[in-house]
């Protein structure tokens, strides 16, 4: 078990997801922004190594407009060397890496233009991980998509689309249950049909389920991750008091996290804390888990 947090770090004073408006696109601007983002990513990874936080989600904004027609700058060539250096650092320190394209990426849309843009965006994500030289345990996590007034037809479209994807994308793609439309059970059904691994989001599951308890889902979810995929990734969060159902907590709820560790027993996975204060809660989680035999690195271990 590794513990981590997504995309940004709130204490080291840089952001790895600087961007700019489409209207102000220029190759120079792109180059400068990617340079800045990569430098920050490096700093975050160093910070994480020292903190013992070995699971990290890389922001989709590393290369702004990467999949947009406006972007003709050969960022792959320009930054290939830097990316492979970062990848080496990642492999050397046994980090686990994920990426999570945002809500515009939909494989089951009935609209062909949406599908095309989505595949372009997935190609960018896969390319980014490939350039770092990461193996297929580095994943791109995606939700199943929309319902479009017909859930079974929409599931069917997902299967069809998934089968048509390039292997460079397919070998990294995993599906995550969402809080409203597609439950873990729906995702496991897609696994049965396509072989795609299922990323369990415990918080989404608490909001969208058909009565299954987390401990009962661990084995079927585990089964969907093959050896080449690595151990499962799990997203963890809890409800922010006083906000709409589904709002991510601002700080880790210690009791809730401890009971999550307890109810998952000896099942091994890497866990990502989707909590708003990012590395602060992740560090707390690491301390809370210090006696858990599943942990790869304990707090205070030399980095």
Task: Return residues touching DNA (CB under 7 A).
Answer: 8, 15, 17-24, 60, 64-68, 102-106, 109-111, 113-114, 117, 121, 145-149, 179-181, 244, 246-248, 274, 276
Distance (Å, rounded) from C-alpha 74 to C-alpha 91?
Answer: 25
Q: What is the biggest distance separating any 2 CA atoms in the chain, rounded to whole angstroms?
A: 53
Distance (Å, rounded) from C-alpha 279 to C-alpha 11?
Answer: 8
Give the CA count within 13 Å in the CB-facing half-sphere of 109. Answer: 14
CB of 298 to DNA, least distance (A): 27
Residue 247 vs 296, nearer CB to DNA: 247
Distance (Å, rounded) from C-alpha 42 to C-alpha 40?
Answer: 5
CB of 293 to DNA, least distance (A): 30
Identify the DSSP state of 236: E
Between vectors from CA 286 to CA 284 and to CA 288, what angle results, nearest 5°?
A: 70
Residue 114 vs 261, nearer CB to DNA: 114
CB of 154 to DNA, least distance (A): 7
Structure tokens at 164: 């048509």
Neighbours of 190 (CB within 10 A): 19
Contacts of 118 (CB under 8 A, 6+ apart): 101, 104, 105, 106, 107, 109
CB of 103 to DNA, least distance (A): 4
Closest CA to 247 of 206, 288, 199: 206
CB of 180 to DNA, least distance (A): 6
CB of 57 to DNA, least distance (A): 12
Distance (Å, rounded) from C-alpha 22 to C-alpha 26?
Answer: 9
């Amino acid at each position: 078990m590794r513990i981590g947090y997504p995309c940004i770090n709130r204490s080291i004073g840089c952001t790895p997801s600087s961007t700019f408006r489409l209207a102000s696109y220029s190759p120079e601007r792109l180059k400068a922004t990617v340079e800045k983002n990569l430098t920050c990513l490096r700093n975050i990874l160093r910070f994480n190594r020292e903190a013992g936080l070995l699971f990290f989600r890389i922001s989709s904004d590393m290369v702004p407009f990467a999949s947009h027609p406006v972007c003709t700058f050969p960022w792959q060539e320009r930054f290939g060397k830097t990316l492979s250096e970062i990848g080496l650092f990642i492999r050397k320190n046994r980090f686990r890496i994920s990426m999570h394209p945002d809500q515009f990426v939909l494989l089951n849309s009935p609209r062909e233009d949406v599908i095309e843009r989505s595949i372009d965006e997935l190609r960018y994500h896969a390319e980014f991980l490939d350039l770092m030289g990461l193996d297929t345990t580095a994943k791109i996590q995606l939700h199943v998509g929309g319902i479009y007034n017909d859930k079974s037809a929409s599931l069917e479209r997902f299967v069809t689309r998934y089968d048509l994807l390039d292997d460079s994308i397919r070998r990294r793609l995993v599906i995550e249950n969402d809080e409203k439309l597609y439950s873990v059970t729906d995702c496991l059904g897609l696994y049965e049909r396509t072989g795609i691994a299922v990323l369990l989001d415990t918080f989404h599951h608490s909001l969208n389920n058909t009565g299954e308890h987390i401990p009962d889902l661990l084995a079927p979810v585990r089964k969907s991750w093959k050896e080449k995929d690595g151990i499962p990734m799990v997203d963890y969060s809890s409800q922010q008091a006083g906000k709409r159902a589904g709002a991510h907590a601002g700080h880790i709820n210690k009791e809730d996290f401890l009971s999550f560790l307890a109810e998952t027993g000896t099942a091994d996975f890497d866990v990502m804390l989707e909590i708003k204060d990012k590395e602060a809660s992740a560090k707390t989680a690491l301390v809370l888990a210090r006696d858990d035999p599943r942990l790869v690195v304990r707090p205070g271990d030399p980095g």
